[in-house]
Chains A and B, each alone.
Chain A
Amino acid sequence: MSSEKLGFDFSTPKTLLIKLSGDWHISTGLLGTGEVTSQLDSHPDVAQINFSISPDLKWDCGLISFLLQLIKACEQKKIQVTRDGLPPEAQKLLALALKVHEKTDLPPKERKSFFDEIGEKAFQTGESFGSAFNFLGDITVSLGRLILGKIFFRWDDFMFLVKRCGVDTLLLVSMISLLVGMILAFVASIQLKMFGAQIYIADIVGIAMVRVLSAVMTGIIVSGRIGASFAAELGMMETNEEVDALKTLGVSPVEFLVLPRVLALVLMMPILTIYADLMAILGGFLISIWMFHLNGLEYLNHTQQAVKLSYVWIGLVHSFVFGVIIAIAGCLRGIECKRNAAGVGNATTSAVVTAITGIVIATAIITFICQVLGV
């Protein structure tokens, strides 16, 4: 194979004439310099290499790569390489490739050890908690400034965001909470049927949904739909330097971008939750009537007796807290977004994960507090 491409001629003293021929395209594979170096080893008196090309020589960068290696190998052996016999284009490319490059002072890429990375992750987690609280502080300050009427607040944007948070999620919330109400009724009935106490389905569905589940389900839907879109939107704005443009205009991005989003979501989450409560009770109601032939009026009466007004307030507190968590997670991850293609994707994922984790932790804390307070 290789001998078809390379020919060696030692007829001139102290000079090796390499004849290049055949197809040198990279598609045919690359040739190493082994053959030439072994020739040079057996003729240690060679001090110069010349080239000649045959008319059937076809080449691309495969040949250039070979020649570069050869030139480097010959430099070490102090053999002179004359490039005059090569095709003129190849000479140009070789000159280009061998040009001395200006030094660039980019910092060298460092490789981190496993333990370094763990340590860094740990510090990052701490920092991300810190930045979340800083962010919360910023939002509180700008809320104060809003109340004092000191900031430029675009109510049009706010109303649009309210529509996006509320109306656009309504259908999804209806479907999910109706189904969750039905599922809960179903699961409860399996146990209650044994005692003939199916009517208590109303109590279980009503209390469970109104106290926590509606808020949690709505929170999960909203963090997937709205929180993620906040993160993607702000991440894109950060990447496009739109956030920087606001800063140089003297507008705080927290006041202009984050505050309207947090307020819109905090306003809409309780409303969506109340709506979800109703849909869930409707779900339980439908199952009880169709599957267990309970009296509809009796079911509603039971629900009314079981669900105290304080439970509704507890549900609303949940939804308020979730609204804050989702909006902050979405906006914070968006603002922190890294300026590359993967950045926006990571910001979106991380916003949803943060929001859902936050929702679960907050639920646990609120439930505990309610337990202590005895409500």
Chain B
Amino acid sequence: MDATIQPVIEVKDLEIGYDDFTVMKDLHFNVNKGDIFIVMGVSGCGKSTLLKSMIGLKAPSRGKVLFYGKSFWDQDEQGQKNIMRRFGVLYQSGALWSSLTVGENVALPLQLYTKLSSQQIQEIVALKLSLVGLRGHEDYFPSGMSGGMCKRVSLARAIALDPEIIFFDEPSAGLDPINARKLDDLILELRDGLGATIVVVTHELASIFAIGNNSVFLDETSKTMIATGDPKVLLANSKDPRVMQFLTRGRSDDEQKRQ
């Protein structure tokens, strides 16, 4: 590990919860440049809540989230906006604006934050859509598209402003294995092409091993993280039964019984 490289995102002593109820506490981890960082854990353990704290939708009860060394929740509104502009988010259900066409969905961030002419915006929109494999779909409405296509449009919107960090909330949720695999490949290609850092919240094992090179494992009962590192290394070396059970789809139990 090179100590001089500053992590893109640092999570320090983070505690998240609703009112008096603590969802997760004592979270410490770093996301480095170019990582595909996986936030994993069983359903309902607080993965999505952690993501909300990282993308600025929900203030944590305690602790800090630092982007490039700047604490997000200590910034004023303008400072937060400046940080938010450097990342893109792909929401679980796509979250496309249903009243806008696909092209308008991707164009909106460009209209808001660049000074390009509408002709130029159309060019960039066409480029982003062709990056996600949907060339020429500008005039469709999201309601007429399949779940996989909506996800890819949403990805095109998330990368509209060439973000340095891309957050994915359950990218393969609701997708068949083939489309989920295609999306994983796309994530890898875009990471290499855009040089972006990627944070993925998921519990899809196939994706975790296919794309992740760093991770944090959240445990529901102890309400904190119990493992961190490359998922493949965790699978090979972790001694924690909870982590092993998750990474092997509960198979470790059967194996123990058999022995």
Contacts and interface: CB of A to CB of B under 8 A. Distances in A.
B193 A26 contact: no
Interface residues on A, range: 20 to 34
B2 interface: no
A341 B96 CA distance: 10
Interface stretch (A88-96, A122-130, A252-260, A277-285): A88-96
B133 interface: yes
A89 B193 contact: yes
Contact of A96 (B99, B137, B189): B189
Interface stretch (A64-72, A73-81, A310-318, A361-369): A64-72
Given A96-B189, A99-B133, A65 B139 contact: no
A106 B144 contact: yes
B233 interface: no
Contact of B120 (A30, A68, A93): A30
Interface stretch (B54-62, B122-130, B169-177, B207-215): B122-130
Contacts of A340: 98-99, 143
Given A92-B193, A104-B149, A341 B98 contact: yes
Contacts of B205: none
B99 A109 contact: no
B116 A342 contact: no
B114 to A, nearest CB: 6
Interface in B106-130: 110, 114-116, 120, 123-124, 127-128, 130
Interface in A86-113: 89-90, 92-93, 96-99, 101-102, 104, 106-107, 109
B98 to A, nearest CB: 4
Interface residues of B, number: 33
Given A89-B195, A106-B145, A97 B123 contact: no
Interface in A45-82: 60-62, 64-65, 68-69
Contacts of A13: none
A65 B98 contact: no
A27 interface: yes
Contacts of B110: 26
Contacts of B193: 89-90, 92-93, 96
Contact of B141 (A60, A92, A109): A109
Contacts of A102: 133
Given A93-B131, A96-B189, A99-B133, A109 B139 contact: yes
B128 A61 contact: yes
Contacts of A27: 114-115
B84 interface: no
B124 A101 contact: no
Interface of A: 25-27, 29-30, 60-62, 64-65, 68-69, 89-90, 92-93, 96-99, 101-102, 104, 106-107, 109, 339-342
Given A61-B128, A341-B99, 14 more contacts: A26-B114, A26-B162, A29-B115, A30-B124, A61-B124, A64-B127, A68-B127, A89-B194, A97-B130, A101-B133, A106-B137, A106-B140, A109-B139, A341-B98
18 contacts: A26-B110, A26-B114, A26-B116, A27-B114, A29-B116, A29-B120, A30-B123, A60-B194, A61-B127, A61-B128, A65-B127, A89-B195, A92-B193, A97-B127, A101-B135, A339-B143, A340-B98, A341-B97
